[in-house]
Amino acid sequence: MSDLKNLLYEKAKEARENAYVPYSGFKVGAAVLGESGKIYQGANIENASYGLTICAERVAITKAISEGEKKLKAILVVGDTPGPISPCGACRQFMAEFKIETIYLANLAGDIKEFTLEQILPYYFTLEKEEN
């Protein structure tokens, strides 16, 4: 495993331990790498009104952007799933908003798969003018 992937994996697993999941019990962690080299961590945070729950991916991305990162290079998401975890559609679109090109999806057993943004969300929504 590459040093970066390993570091992101460890940071995401660490973040996962801070998840607030009183309803599902399903902890998810994420670690996002900013262009500055700093890593931002996030965990899922549930709410009694399920629609207000926020996923680990969006927590990590929001922390990075709110702390001044302008470009995000990679993200790793980890959960206790049989295979690598799969982000929800909202998180995929959030990754698209900030053009995160390297996306690692993992589980606690250490299975990690690498994807590009186009692979996990082809034809994502953007306000940029499309060229034909």
9 known member of a binding site:
no
Which two tokens mark 132? 């034909």
6 known member of a binding site:
no
Q: Which domains does the chain have, with CATH numbers?
A: 3-120 (3.40.140.10)
How confident is the prediction along the chain (132 residues), in pLDDT tens digits per residue? 689 999 999 999 999 999 999 999 999 999 999 999 999 999 999 999 999 999 999 999 999 999 999 999 999 999 999 999 999 999 999 999 999 999 999 999 999 999 999 999 998 888 765 554
Q: What is the value of pTM for the model shown?
A: 0.93
131 known member of a binding site:
no
Active site residues: 57
C-alpha distances in Å from residue 118, one per residue of 6, 84, 87, 124: 23, 18, 14, 8
pLDDT of 15: 98
C-alpha distances in Å from residue 48, one per residue of 22, 70, 81, 123: 9, 33, 23, 33
